[in-house]
Structure 1
Amino acid sequence: MLAGEMYAPGKIRLIEVPEPVLPPSPPAGCSGQIVFQPETTCLCGSDLPYFGGSDEWPIEIGHSLHEMIGTVVATNGDRWRAGDRVLAVPEMQQGLFERFVLDEGRAIEVDRRVPEEQALMAQPLGTAIFALKKLPNMLDRTVAIVGQGPMGQLMNACLRNLGAREVVGIDLLESRLRTSRLMGATATICNATESPVETLKEILGGELPDVVIECVGHGHSPFNLCIDLCRRNGVLLFFGVPGPLVDGLRWRDLFFKNVTVHTSVNPDFQRDFPLAMRWIGEGRIDVGPMITHRFPLAQIQQAFETFRDKVDGACKVLVDFPAKRA
């Protein structure tokens, strides 16, 4: 079967590897395992450090995919049966295999009320829901979201759903800001051509927002811009995954603004991902505008390049495995 190998910075190829072997019984502490066969996946910003050759984590066969829908092929547990359609999240983002063994608890049922490419968005949406539960009641609040990639777009939609008065999307790319309006932003700022602080004050009647959310991360995080955008006694949610060290962070300025800071990682498979799937299935959030590109697995190199370089306004880039054709 095929697997992915990131053999050089910015280079990925498909190689042949052995089929996975499901143990007759699960290991201690695990209720059950499945052999999962992905059919549709999508790329995430957290896949790019692997693709770029970062030395933050070891790069191994199967890196890097972790948002995928497919079929349970076999199981040694009781939760799933062969043939079930599930959304699965592989360990350590090693999902670039045609089939792999996975703890049965790392999969949830697919909602059939929407197309599967939309149900797939329950994985990233679940991470947004988990993060937003750390914030205060958002009804009537003003929010600025720095970074309008896929996660920033989902934050727009969630906050509009939660009753925020103003949801202001900020990004360097006009192409992404056009999507922001479709995903729930009430206003946008292109900080490549506008002063984000002054423009935000104009939008909010001279004030800075109640909440600022950072959705960039991975070595490009605009930490200090987020500090500038925070009001005194405001709230700052650092959502984007940071690098191992953050140079030049003006923590003193943050300190004297008396800002409350939240971070977020590792959502709950029992609550956050199922709730995200339900929101999409019930139509509470329309994730359709985020999905911009689609490639077969044979074009995985082009898919990663398109996502990395934001070609033609790329937001969520999907990849179909060979099993999808069947």
Structure 2
Amino acid sequence: MYGGKQIRMIDVEEPTLDQSEGGDIIFQPELACLCGSDLLYFEADNPGYKPEIGHSLHEMIGTVVDTNGSKFKVGDQVLCVPYLQMGLQERFICTEKQAIAVDTRPDLREALLAQPLGTVLFATRRLPNLLGLNVAVIGQGPMGQLWNCTLAQLGCRQIVGVDLNAERLKVSPQMGATDTLQVSAEQSHEDVAAEVRKILGGEKPDLVIECVGHREQVVNLCLEICKEHGSVFFFGVPTQTLQEISLYKLFWKNITLYASVVPDFEIDFPLAMRWIAEGRVDVSPIITHHMQLKDIQEAFDIFSQRQDGALKVFLDFPVRNA
């Protein structure tokens, strides 16, 4: 990624473990998936996320082609999360601590979704017991959909998926939302909050998940929707600063604000892989596009512009034997 919404392939040196102190692997990607946080580098207009060589892919399954660690052997298929999302490479070095074994039971694309699902599981471990709570999930992109299925699995009473996009809302019931609400950019926060209350029988949600992301932060909307003494989870990747957040509402409604980043590779990703492999959650409805690495520019264009009902866009890396 070398400029705003522009991608090109360049030659770099082959990675080796000669300078490694141990515990590393050389990872060769086979399958990758685009994520909203990759768009921060793709769009290249945010000073906190300047693209460098290797930006930006980080949801990846591939093969260990060399190692000086003890966790994997050469030839093992693993899910790997590269350092600082620098996974747009044919091969790269990564600590073995940031990789887990791939369960062979599900479709490989579904297995790869253990990475984003693992981030949601980590987030829920920061929250109190969710059983019987009413929740509004603001944003029904891929991560909002994974929140839907996780909240349903953990016993929430009603899960209201809220979005501007009607196509995305069609998927929400398949992913666990009990109700959906299409809103418009012109609606006031008070109007949206009133519609959510109507769906919940006059109640406000106990928990509101902000899952819109860096382009269209809706923190103030979440604070408006949330009940007094409720919670707001700030899950969308933020810009460096957010202006005009209504601390007044946060303060006077006694709202607890949560955030999370960097899941546990020993807990969250393996558990997500297990949920998917055992069929506890069905992540297949959000698999919408499957393309080749040579078409990565088109893939990012489709994903960033939300074309053709795009939710999760997958990329096959070319086979490399040597």
| TM-score category (smaller protein) | over 0.9
SS in 2 for 1:12: coil
Q: Which amino acid aligns with 1:240?
A: G
Residue in 2 that maps onto 1:291:
287
Q: Which runs of 5 or more residues in structure 1 are unaligned?
A: 1-5
1:70, 1:95 → 2: CA distance?
11
1:103, 1:242 → 2: CA distance?
26
Q: CA deviation at 1:198?
A: 1.6
Distance 1:325 1:238, change over 3 A: farther
Q: Which amino acid aligns with 1:168?
A: V
CA deviations on 1:270-318 (whole Å, 9 max, x unpaired) are: 1111111111011111000011011100000000001000001100010
Residue in 2 that maps onto 1:142:
134
Q: Which amino acid aligns with 1:294?
A: H
Residue in 2 that maps onto 1:3:
none
1:100 aligns with 2:92: yes
CA deviations on 1:56-78 (whole Å, 9 max, x unpaired) are: 13311110000000101111111
SS in 2 for 1:39: strand
Q: CA deviation at 1:248?
A: 1.5
1:90 aligns with 2:55: no
SS in 1 for 2:116: helix
Q: Which amino acid aligns with 1:314?
A: A
Residue in 2 that maps onto 1:206:
202
Q: TM-score, normalised by structure 1?
A: 0.94
Q: Which runs of 5 or more residues in structure 2 are unaligned?
A: none
Count of aligned residue pairs for this structure pair? 317
1:276 aligns with 2:267: no
Deviates more, 1:53-62 or 1:117-126: 53-62
Pick aligned residue for 1:38 from 29, 33, 47? 29
Q: Which runs of 4+ in 1 moved over 6 A?
A: none
CA contact (8 A) 1:170 1:196 kept: no
SS in 1 for 2:319: helix
Pick aligned residue for 1:10 from 5, 11, 18? 5
1:306 aligns with 2:297: no
Distance 1:325 1:299, change over 3 A: farther
2:96, 2:131 → 1: CA distance?
37
SS in 2 for 1:156: helix
CA contact (8 A) 2:62 2:77 kept: yes
Residue in 2 that maps onto 1:132:
124
CA contact (8 A) 1:146 1:216 kept: yes
Q: Any residues of structure 2 matched to 1:1-326 within 5 Å, and which?
A: 6-23=1-18, 26-27=20-21, 32-53=23-44, 54-192=46-184, 195-323=191-319
CA contact (8 A) 1:156 1:180 kept: yes
Q: CA deviation at 1:324?
A: 8.2
Q: CA deviation at 1:128?
A: 0.2
CA deviations on 1:35-59 (whole Å, 9 max, x unpaired) are: 1000000001100010001221331
CA deviations on 1:98-122 (whole Å, 9 max, x unpaired) are: 1111101110010111011000000
What is the percent sequence identity of the aligned residues? 53
Two-structure CA RMSD over aligned residues (Å) = 1.5
